[in-house]
Amino acid sequence: MLIIPAIDLKNGKVVRLRQGDFLQEKVYSDDALGIARKWASQGASFIHIVDLDGAASGVPANLDLAGEIAREISIPVEVGGGIRTEKAIKDVLDQGIKRVVLGTRACQDPEFAERIIAKFKDKIIVSIDSRGGKIQTNGWTKTALQVEFRTAYPSSPASLAKTLKEFGAETIICTDISKDGMLTGPDVGAIERFLEETKIKIIVSGGIASLEDISKLKRLEPKGVEGVIIGKDLYEDKVDLSEAIKISE
């Protein structure tokens, strides 16, 4: 099971939001590259970067910085936030970034999602961000719209995950926004039910607060938990990255 440190960028700084709320922001560093190097030196094998400005505006805003990180560290990087066109996807990949995280457009436009997954394959991963069982888009400010496609395009996280699997997605990111930045622990029961219903591999994001949370999710690895994204718990020294990696192995 992968342990994936998150670096959330806003105005070029490393920040964390509380429950996805842009008004509840805490700045941890103005040296994102230094933070990336720190996580790499502690054993991370992958880094997850979120362009928060891009997520809010719909256009990548911290791509140069994300690209610099990808080129300067020795481990692969994935980037999401405001990437809503094929050109934007290509621009991200041209920076040497390993994988593009799609959210809003993939959750609202099935034809786009199907075409992009087929074309870019493992260079794309879709993130389903939800709050209270409803998919959130546009920087977590809106609930995903239903779009006519065969039947109505799925608006629940599980039904959307099954549709993405039908399109060829093997793994998705699942973020529980209500848990994000709260350090209250993930809803392990809900994650297990989601895995049983969808039969798709997932990377869990949101709410990790302790090494015990990592251990609980590790036990779900046979059912499909492929990785865990950790953020605030690292920045608040609630979890030691090297210890979390040991537990995950």
* Catalytic residue numbers, as ranges: 8, 129
**Helical H runs in the chain?**
32-41, 52-57, 63-72, 86-93, 104-108, 110-120, 157-167, 188-198, 211-218, 232-235, 241-248
Put residue 13 in one of left, alpha, beta given phi > 0 → left and psi -120 to 50 → alpha.
beta
Round to whole Å and give the CA distance between 230 and 172: 16
| Kind and range of the H or E run holding 48 | strand 47-51
Angle between helices 188-198 and 211-218 (to 10 degrees): 20
Q: Write the burial class of residue 3 (CB in 10 Å: 0-12 exposed, 13-18 middle, 19+ buried).
A: buried
Q: Residues 182-197, buried b or exposed e (16+ Cβ, 10 A)?
A: ebebbbeeebbebbee
Q: What is the DSSP letter of 128?
A: E
